[in-house]
Structure 1
């Protein structure tokens, strides 16, 4: 249903944009107005973008296979990337035509018909942009979100074109070449922004806080889970997430109970968030030792006061073999981390002599 809705929305955008192209191009050629012609070219790039969106969405529906075991969802990101290049190309061509207009000025001949068409186009693009963008947000479609935002941007360009026509008709002052510069630069910036955002998703950007929070809360709903940590989520296309996490359980939990619990966590997370967990790791928690509880509280409090530790988890004390094991989460970019780690171990050894320290440093990959 998601892919079907994306295709339907894209078809509506194609039809509307092609109608705008026909009207604007005709008026632009009759009025000899480069700003209106460039506005039409921009609408044509929007229509092409919607066609690419349909292609990317159709390909993303392909089921997983041996060569692509995680499916083909990233085709949607590739489609968004192609859309960005189309818009950038349109922007470059607009700049070239604008330079020609400055070098060889021509006199536009606007009419009230051209003013009427541009005015109608403004309202059409605002309505179309809002509709497409809302559907894109609802379906988490980067191509639709980009197309919707681009359509709303186009309405601003049409406002500039309208100002050019009104200035010529009422004030007899030609600003067409100035408006053409604004439109050309606007198209370039729009293409750059879409390219930058899409590349970020392809490279693997940080997962949203709302999704990570939802996954953690879903796992906590399973009885027997004392804590959820080390969440990793990979994005294989819109609404296609595969991840892993660790849950903390009492150290008296049997292997059979752990097996049941991990399966319940996988099922609960998928039902509530749509995230598929490929693995659920286990941290054991000392359950009946006041001494260990005091050690956990003391060490955790000290770590969090250091300024570079965001979280302490996976804390377990092997009292028989005199070992303390725990993980700390640190943000990216911390300098002299090895030295800080050594200093922390030395402090623990002084506070709790005789214990060996197993300290693992985890990167701050998710909130």
Structure 2
């Protein structure tokens, strides 16, 4: 199946799920507003407001999915996939606003209580609302995983929170109905705090997506194993993955190859690897090459000297791209320090100076690299 067909199916799946959510939440809002106003229940009214924000969240999910599905253009050559992260962030702020409003209104109700009254039908409708929300939560979770949609996954979290919070509302309503004991203001405050907490978690996740986080360790391992399985590949380094939206990943990697290979050997090898990565993982991968000295005793001697120096630096994670160009008397290598190294640049300069003392006839071309992936 072509990728554009898969994207169209994904957009349709997310839209259908969101529209179902809009319809379900609309019914819940209507019933809860009627019950809340007739019974003077602050907890139920706030629960209705929370469902109203769910409707707006679903509308944003549909709009975000449509915009994210737009084709790449001259101004946005990487496509529009990250719009989904932005709309999910907007959904989180809507949820956060609902939580703050709920908390404020609940505190006012605690300070200035109003007696609530419920009919048995009200309690039955609230019970039905809990069942609906549980169903919606698991449905959104399933569809979120199926279509790799953070927005639907956020809606799943919100729906299951709603089920729990509506359950608390039901308990407080039962206390009023049977014992005339009203704790709905306190229940509303708990609802507000829980909603705020859920929203902050979603904001944190989307913030990480937008800023950029370390690639998944399992994916990195599979990618490196696939690349390393090709003949002549001596090592896989500098793997970088950039996400431009769900299912839209562009990456780069370096491989080390024997310096005895010709460009005519390297070119088809790179093409096969890139094609394989795209077919298996859907990732557009750019592949760079490092040369490896073959049967060069001088290069081995220099490498040993460098390893001895590096053993004195506990924050060195890796050395790669090591190559000695004998005709130019030049040593090439890249170093990666862990993030606990206070002065990576200074440490690299010290390493270069020490190696220069030991092997003064060679110049060095050293690069400070970053630990992008394990």
Q: Report the 3-state secondary structure (helix = DSSP H, G, I; strand = E; otherwise coil) of the residue aligned with 1:109.
A: coil
Q: 1-side partners of 2:145 and 2:224: how far apart?
A: 23
Structure 1 residues 197-245: Cα deviation after superposition (integer angstroms, max 9, x where no partner): 2222122233222333333233223333222111222211111111211
- Where do 1:28-47 residues align within 5 Å? 28-47=36-55
Which residue matches 2:364?
357
Closer, same or farther in 2 for the Cα pair 1:302/1:12, shift >3 Å? farther
Question: Contact between 1:241 and 1:274, CA under 8 Å: does it hold in 2?
Answer: yes
Q: 1-side partners of 2:325 and 2:337: how far apart?
A: 24
Measured after TM superposition, the shift of residue 254 of structure 1 is 0.6
- Where do 1:181-330 residues align within 5 Å? 181-277=189-285, 279-293=286-300, 295-296=302-303, 299-300=306-307, 303=310, 306-330=313-337
Q: Report the 3-state secondary structure (helix = DSSP H, G, I; strand = E; otherwise coil) of the residue aligned with 1:310.
A: strand
Measured after TM superposition, the shift of residue 302 of structure 1 is 5.4
Q: Which runs of 5+ in 2 are unaligned?
A: 1-8
Question: Contact between 1:309 and 1:329, CA under 8 Å: does it hold in 2?
Answer: yes
Measured after TM superposition, the shift of residue 290 of structure 1 is 4.6
Match of 1:147 among 136, 155, 170: 155
Q: Report the 3-state secondary structure (helix = DSSP H, G, I; strand = E; otherwise coil) of the residue aligned with 1:96.
A: helix
Q: 2-side partners of 1:303 and 1:31: how far apart?
A: 74
Closer, same or farther in 2 for the Cα pair 1:315/1:58, shift >3 Å? same
Which residue matches 2:130?
122
Which residue matches 1:62?
70
Structure 1 residues 339-363: Cα deviation after superposition (integer angstroms, max 9, x where no partner): 3223323443455453333221111
Q: 1-side partners of 2:136 and 2:309: how far apart?
A: 55
Q: 1-side partners of 2:236 and 2:291: how far apart?
A: 12
The yes-or-no answer on 1:53 pairing with 2:61 is: yes
Question: Contact between 1:222 and 1:268, CA under 8 Å: does it hold in 2?
Answer: no
Measured after TM superposition, the shift of residue 106 of structure 1 is 0.2
Over the aligned positions, Cα root-mean-square deviation in angstroms equals 2.1
Q: 1-side partners of 2:326 and 2:218: how far apart?
A: 39
Which residue matches 1:345?
352
Measured after TM superposition, the shift of residue 366 of structure 1 is 2.0
The yes-or-no answer on 1:86 pairing with 2:116 is: no
Structure 1 residues 147-188: Cα deviation after superposition (integer angstroms, max 9, x where no partner): 111111111211211221122233332101100111122222
TM-score normalised to the size of structure 2? 0.90
Q: 2-side partners of 1:43 and 1:18: how far apart?
A: 8
Question: Contact between 1:311 and 1:328, CA under 8 Å: does it hold in 2?
Answer: yes
Q: 2-side partners of 1:75 and 1:218: how far apart?
A: 31
TM-score normalised to the size of structure 1? 0.92
Q: Report the 3-state secondary structure (helix = DSSP H, G, I; strand = E; otherwise coil) of the residue aligned with 1:282.
A: strand
Measured after TM superposition, the shift of residue 57 of structure 1 is 0.6
The yes-or-no answer on 1:109 pairing with 2:117 is: yes
Q: 2-side partners of 1:273 and 1:305: how far apart?
A: 39
Measured after TM superposition, the shift of residue 287 of structure 1 is 1.8
Measured after TM superposition, the shift of residue 100 of structure 1 is 3.0
Q: Which runs of 5+ in 1 are unaligned?
A: none
Paired positions, count: 366
Q: 2-side partners of 1:266 and 1:29: how far apart?
A: 62
